[in-house]
C-alpha cells in the first residue's frame, strides 16, 4: 500500500533538454524504471501542450506507452496534470475564445484525457500550482482562472471525477512543504470545497528542495493537517538540488546533506497516515530537469548519470 514513484523522463520536451526520448531509447533507463519503482508519473507527456497540441487533435502516443509500461510492470500511475498555468499549447494561450468556449475546451479535455485512462490512474494532479507563494490565486498567468474565475477549479475536479470516479483527485504545488501562506491558502480552499461536496481527495507537495535552504522541518505537521481533513497526501516531485562547485563534482559532505533531505522527506510521509505515494522527479542526473532550470545547480537526483547510486539512494532504501 505504499508506492515509491518516479517521473518517467520527458523525452526532450524542452529545447534545452535535447536528449532523445530515454523512455524509448535508453534500455538501462527502462530497466531501472521497471524494477525500482511501484509508481510512475509522466514528466511531460500528459501535459496539455504534449497531449493536446492542436485544437481537435490529441497526441496520446507517449502517454499510452507509459501507462502500458506501468501495467506490464505492475506499477500504478500518477496523472499530471489537467489545470495549470504552464505548458499549455499556443492554440489555447493565444486563441481567441469566449469564456463559454474556453470552459467547453477544458471540460472536453478533462473528460477525454481522464476518460481515456479510466481505471488506470491512481492519482490525478487535477490542479497544479494555482496559488502564488503569497497565497493569492494565480489570476493573471493561469488562463483558466483568469478567463473563467476561481469557480473553474471545482468544475475541473467534478469533471475529472465523472470521467474516472475511482481516481484520487489532487491539488499539487511547490513551496507548500511548510506551513506558510501558500499552503494555508490550499488548506482554506480545500476545506471550503469539501464543505461544498466537491470531489477533492488529496493534497500533494512537489518538494523540489535545495540544500541552499534549510529542510522544511514542519513538513510532517503540514501534511498531517491535510490528512486531518480526511485527505490523502503525497510527495510528488522530490529532488534535492545543490550548488555545484567549479569542477562540477559535489563533495561527500554535500551528498550527505542531500541524502539527509531525501531521508527526512520520506520519513515525514511515512509518519502521516494516508501519505502513501512518494515520488521522485526522475532518478538519474542524466535526464534531470534541474540543471536546465536552475543555473549553477544540479546533481539533484539519487543516481549519477551512469546510474550508480548516491548516498541519497541508500538513505531512502534504509528508511523503508
Binding residues among 28-57 for ligand XIL as defined by CB under 6 A: 43-44
Chain residue whose CB lies nearest ligand XIL: 289
Contact 279, 41 (CB under 8 A): yes
Contact region with ligand XIL (CB under 6 A), list: 9-17, 53-61, 254-262, 306-314: 9-17
Q: Is 289 in the site for ligand XIL (CB under 6 A)?
A: yes
Residue (of 114, 102, 94, 104) closest to 46 by Cα position: 114
Binding residue (CB under 6 A) for ligand XIL from 6, 123, 168, 206? 206
**Least distance in Å: CB of 288 to ligand XIL?**
8
Tell me which DSSP letter residue 164 carries.
Answer: -
| 177 tagged catalytic | no
Cβ–Cβ under 8 Å, residues 115 and 226? no
Does the protein bind ligand XIL through residue 142 (CB under 6 A)?
no
Asked whether 212 and 242 are in contact (CB, 8 A), the reply is yes
Contacts to ligand XIL from residues 152-191, by CB under 6 A:
174
CB of 260 to ligand XIL, least distance (A): 22
Residue with smaller CB distance to ligand XIL, 2 or 293? 293
C-alpha cell at 161: 471525477
Stretch that binds ligand XIL, among 13-21, 24-32, 248-256, 258-266 (CB under 6 A): 13-21
Contact letters for ligand XIL, residues 214-243 (x by CB under 6 A): -----------------------x------
The secondary structure of 226-266 as a DSSP string is: HHTTT-EEEEEEEEEEEEPPTTS---HHHHHHHHHHHHHHH
**Chain positions contacting ligand XIL, by CB under 6 A:** 10, 13-14, 17, 43-44, 128, 174, 206, 237, 289
Active-site positions? 129, 237
Amino acid at each position: 500500500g505504499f508506492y515509491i514513484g518516479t517521473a518517467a523522463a520527458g523525452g526532450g520536451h524542452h529545447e534545452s533538454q535535447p536528449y532523445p526520448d530515454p523512455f524509448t531509447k535508453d534500455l538501462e533507463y527502462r530497466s531501472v524504471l521497471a524494477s525500482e519503482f511501484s509508481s510512475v508519473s509522466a514528466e511531460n507527456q500528459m501535459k496539455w501542450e504534449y497531449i493536446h497540441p492542436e485544437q481537435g487533435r490529441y497526441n496520446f502516443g507517449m502517454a499510452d506507452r507509459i501507462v502500458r509500461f506501468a501495467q506490464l510492470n505492475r506499477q500504478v500511475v500518477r496523472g499530471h496534470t489537467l489545470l495549470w498555468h504552464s505548458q499549455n499549447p499556443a492554440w489555447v494561450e493565444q486563441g481567441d475564445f469566449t469564456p463559454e468556449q474556453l470552459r467547453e475546451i477544458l471540460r472536453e479535455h478533462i473528460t477525454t484525457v481522464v476518460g481515456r485512462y479510466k481505471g488506470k490512474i491512481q492519482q490525478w494532479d487535477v490542479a497544479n500550482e494555482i496559488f502564488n507563494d503569497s497565497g493569492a490565486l494565480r489570476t493573471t498567468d493561469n488562463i483558466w482562472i483568469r478567463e473563467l474565475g476561481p469557480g473553474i477549479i471545482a468544475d475541473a475536479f467534478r469533471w475529472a471525477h465523472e470521467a474516472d470516479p475511482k481516481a484520487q483527485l489532487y491539488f499539487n504545488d511547490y513551496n507548500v512543504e511548510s506551513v506558510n501562506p501558500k499552503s494555508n491558502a490550499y488548506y482554506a480552499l480545500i476545506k471550503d470545497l469539501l464543505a461544498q461536496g466537491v470531489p477533492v481527495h488529496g493534497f500533494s507537495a512537489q518538494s523540489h528542495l535545495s540544500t541552499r535552504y534549510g529542510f522544511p522541518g514542519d513538513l510532517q505537521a503540514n501534511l498531517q493537517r491535510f490528512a486531518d481533513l480526511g485527505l490523502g497526501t503525497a510527495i510528488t516531485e522530490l529532488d534535492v538540488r545543490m550548488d555545484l562547485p567549479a569542477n562540477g563534482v559535489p563533495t561527500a559532505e554535500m551528498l550527505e546533506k542531500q541524502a539527509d533531505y531525501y531521508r527526512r522527506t520520506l520519513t515525514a510521509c511515512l509518519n502521516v497516515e494516508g501519505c502513501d505515494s512518494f515520488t521522485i522527479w526522475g532518478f538519474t542526473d542524466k535526464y534531470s530537469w534541474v540543471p536546465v532550470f536552475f543555473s549553477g545547480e544540479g546533481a539533484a537526483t539519487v543516481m549519477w548519470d551512469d546510474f550508480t547510486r548516491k548516498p541519497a539512494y541508500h538513505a531512502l532504501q534504509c528508511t523503508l
